Amino acid sequence: MAGITDAPMRMIVRGLGVDQTFSEMIASREIFMRPIDLQRRLHIDGEENELAIQIAGCDPYWMGEAARFCADLGATLIDINMGCPAKKVVKGATA
Instruction: Report the catalytic residues.
Output: 84
DSSP state of 91: T
Nearest Cα to 3, choosing from 92, 88, 79, 93? 88
24: left (phi over 0), alpha (psi -120 to 50) or beta: beta
